[in-house]
């Protein structure tokens, strides 16, 4: 009798389990969006989850690595803002980050002439004020490209500075161009649309919050609840398969499931797939990746949302000759003449150099400098080896600084390579002239593919975030959004 009761109990449990079986969810990509989606689903009791990651690590465009004695970020580096920033809300109480200090920098020519610091600060402040008031400028005065809008205004402002001759004016405009493309990674600021530029919503507060001695990958430990209580860690890593590049997403099945195939021929079946690859990957692979082909609307958004490049080069030194005052936040910007840029552009090995904004300090890593290479330059660097980059930046630094500093040669160099990596093909999204001309948007890109009223293929990633694209907090928010889409779907079925 006892054994019959046990058997009956098991049958009942099996029946209940079958009737309430967790849907099979596959997440493509273990970057900020994918990790956030998986953590949110696991927190809400969804166990049948799998993450397929093409790289040999998690993190996506967040990539913290050891360099010299420090942890550095080859990808995302700062928390941009506080109010309304989900990353800041995650870390604010944990004492893991540090606020920025007043920024101090100087502007040098490529041959080492210091440009009047008061004048360059005043002109730079004007440019930054235009960035802060871009919504008013574009609505009232100009709705063309950011380059056209800002250049017209800056040319008028230059008249207030008699020391700015035509050569220096052209140099400063180039500097502001590559500064702008460090925010919006187009090839040039003439590719960035002024209309609806304000669609991006800046979170109030400090825009360059750093991770002290750590790196941005700390956010994954927080998302997975390893921090602050390791015993509460969610099993996200146990559900992640690395080196698993997805080559086919087939949603043509009659039973509304999705079959995924990876580069090694393995197949996975899911009730829902959350796609979080970069927009660059979607641009390059959407025609071969999806079956059936994506809708015209989806393809239009993939093609016309802007997506570009940026690169960072980190240099390590034996000393801190470049920062004698111990400044926490600052560095040295560089300006190039038109003739210098034309000469650099004539050689495929040096074309990228004119897109280097300058050399800057790294918070809490005093023996390091980093170089930010904007837009087109980050792509042009694909033609240059690491050894050549090392020699070029060492020489550039010497030419620029040796008249005023006792310059020593770097002892090590490391750089990011986002464009040449087929799993990223760039860094982050922006609003291009084509974006506005075709009425494309992150909201449309984020729309799921629905079959029989069920979202079978969902889209996450920073490029799908309407107001916080190009950021880690935007990527995390998009992952939570798609996880909640599924959580709400099944809540309605209960």
Q: Provide the mean pLDDT of the chain.
A: 93
Instruction: Specify the pairing of strand 104-109 against strand 330-335.
Output: parallel
Q: How is residue 491 written in tokens?
A: 């809540």
User: Which one is predicted more confidently, 138 or 78?
Assistant: 78
Q: What is the pLDDT of residue 151?
A: 92
CB 289 within 8 A of CB 29: no
Contact 478, 29 (CB under 8 A): no
Give yes or no for a contact between 68 and 412, defined as CB atoms under 8 angstroms apart: yes
356, 461, 470: which is closest to 415 by C-alpha?
A: 356
Strands (E), 195-322: 240-241, 246-250, 258-262, 267-270, 272-275, 290-291, 306-308, 310-316
| Bridge partner residues of 335 (DSSP) | 109
Exposure class string for 281-303: b at 16+ Cβ within 10 A, else e: bbbbbbeebbeeebeeebbbbbb
User: Do the beta carbons of residue 285 and residue 303 sit within 8 Å?
Assistant: no
Q: Roughly how many angstroms between the first and final C-alpha of the chain, as a whole number? A: 35
DSSP classification of residue 292: S
| Three-state SS at 209 | strand
Q: Which residue has 């035509």 as its token pair?
A: 166
- pLDDT tens readout for residues 94-113: 999 999 988 889 999 999 99
What gap in Å lies between CA 193 and CA 429, rounded to an integer? 13
Indicate whether 287 pLDDT > 70: yes
Distance, in Å, from the CA atom of 225 to the CA atom of 43, rounded to the nearest integer, reads 10
As to burial, measured by CB atoms within 10 angstroms (0-12 exposed, 13-18 middle, 19+ buried), residue 153 is middle
Dihedral sign, CA of 183, 186, 187, 190? negative
**188 phi and psi angles, rounded to 5 deg:** -155, 160
Q: Which residue has the tokens 């040999």?
A: 56
Structure tokens at 156: 């008028």
pLDDT of residue 426: 97
Q: Are 411 and 318 in contact (CB under 8 A)?
A: yes
CA distances from 427 to 264, 286, 313, 421, 489 (A): 26, 18, 15, 10, 32
Confidence of residue 140 (pLDDT cuts 50, 70, 90): low
Q: How many helices (H) and strands (E) in the chain? A: 16, 20
Percentage of the chain lying above the pLDDT 70 cut: 95
**210 vs 74, 79, 84, 238, 464, CA distance in Å?**
14, 7, 17, 29, 25
Q: Residue 19 pLDDT more than 70?
A: no
Give residue 258's pLDDT. Answer: 98
Rounded alpha-carbon distances, angstroms, from residue 7 to 2, 12, 151, 310: 9, 9, 79, 62
pLDDT at 133: 84
Question: Could you tell me the pTM of the whole model?
Answer: 0.94
Mean pLDDT across 423-430: 97
Residue 461 has pLDDT above 90, yes or no: yes
Q: Tell me: the pLDDT tens digits for 396-413? A: 999 999 999 999 999 999
pLDDT-derived band of residue 15, with 50, 70 and 90 as boundaries?
A: very low
pLDDT (tens digit, 9 = 90+) per residue, 114-131? 999 999 999 999 999 998
Token pair recorded at residue 361: 């300090």
Contact status, residue 420 vs residue 382, Cβ threshold 8 Å: yes
Tell me the mean pLDDT in the region 201-228: 97
| 137 vs 330, more confident | 330
* Predicted local confidence at residue 432, as pLDDT: 96
**φ and ψ of 365, to 5 deg:** -130, 75
- Tell me the C-alpha distance between 43 and 9, whole Å: 28
Asked whether the predicted pLDDT for residue 1 surpasses 90, the reply is: no
**Rounded distance between C-alpha atoms, residue 183 and residue 67, angstroms:** 25
């Amino acid at each position: 009798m006892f054994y019959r009761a046990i058997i009956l109990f098991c049958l009942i449990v099996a029946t209940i389990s079958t009737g309430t079986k967790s849907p099979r969810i596959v997440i493509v990509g273990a970057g900020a969006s994918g990790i956030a989606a998986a953590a949110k689903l696991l927190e809400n009791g969804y166990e049948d989850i799998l993450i397929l990651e093409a790289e040999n690590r998690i993190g996506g465009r967040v990539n913290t690595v050891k360099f010299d004695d420090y942890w550095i970020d080859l990808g995302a580096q700062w928390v941009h803002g506080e109010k309304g920033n989900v990353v800041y809300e995650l870390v604010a109480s944990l004492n893991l980050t540090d606020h920025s200090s007043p920024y101090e920098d100087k502007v040098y020519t490529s041959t080492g002439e210091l440009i009047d610091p008061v004048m360059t600060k005043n002109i730079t402040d004007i440019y930054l004020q235009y960035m802060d008031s871009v919504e008013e400028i574009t609505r009232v005065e100009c709705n063309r490209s950011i380059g056209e809008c800002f250049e017209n205004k800056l040319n008028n402002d230059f008249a207030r500075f008699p020391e700015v001759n035509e050569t220096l004016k052209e140099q400063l405009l180039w500097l502001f161009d590559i500064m702008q493309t460090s925010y919006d990674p187009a090839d040039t600021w003439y590719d960035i649309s002024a209309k609806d530029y304000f669609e991006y919503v800046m979170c109030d507060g400090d825009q360059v919050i750093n991770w002290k001695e750590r790196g941005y990958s700390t956010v994954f430990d927080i998302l997975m609840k390893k921090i602050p209580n390791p015993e509460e860690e969610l099993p996200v890593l146990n559900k992640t398969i690395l080196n698993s590049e997805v080559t086919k997403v087939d949603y043509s099945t009659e039973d509304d499931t999705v079959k995924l195939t990876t580069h090694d021929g393995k197949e996975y079946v899911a009730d829902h797939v959350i796609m979080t690859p970069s927009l660059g990957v979607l641009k390059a692979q959407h025609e071969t990746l999806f079956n059936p082909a994506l809708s015209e609307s989806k393809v239009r958004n993939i093609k016309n949302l802007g997506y570009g490049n940026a690169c960072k080069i980190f240099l390590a030194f034996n000393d801190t000759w470049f920062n004698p005052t111990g400044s926490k936040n600052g560095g040295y910007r560089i300006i190039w003449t038109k003739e210098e840029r034309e000469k650099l552009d004539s050689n495929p090995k040096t074309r990228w150099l004119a897109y280097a904004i300058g050399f800057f300090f790294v918070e809490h890593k005093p023996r390091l400098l980093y170089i930010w290479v904007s837009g087109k330059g980050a792509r042009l660097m694909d033609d240059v080896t690491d050894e050549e980059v090392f020699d070029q930046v060492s020489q550039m630094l010497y030419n620029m600084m040796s008249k005023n500093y006792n310059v020593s040669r770097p002892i090590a160099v490391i750089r990011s390579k986002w464009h040449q990596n087929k799993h990223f093909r760039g860094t982050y999204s922006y609003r291009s002239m084509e974006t506005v001309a075709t009425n494309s948007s992150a909201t449309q890109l984020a729309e799921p593919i629905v079959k029989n009223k069920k979202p079978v293929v969902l889209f996450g990633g920073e490029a799908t975030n309407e107001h916080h694209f190009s950021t880690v907090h935007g990527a995390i928010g998009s992952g939570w959004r798609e996880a909640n889409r599924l959580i709400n779907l099944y809540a309605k079925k209960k």
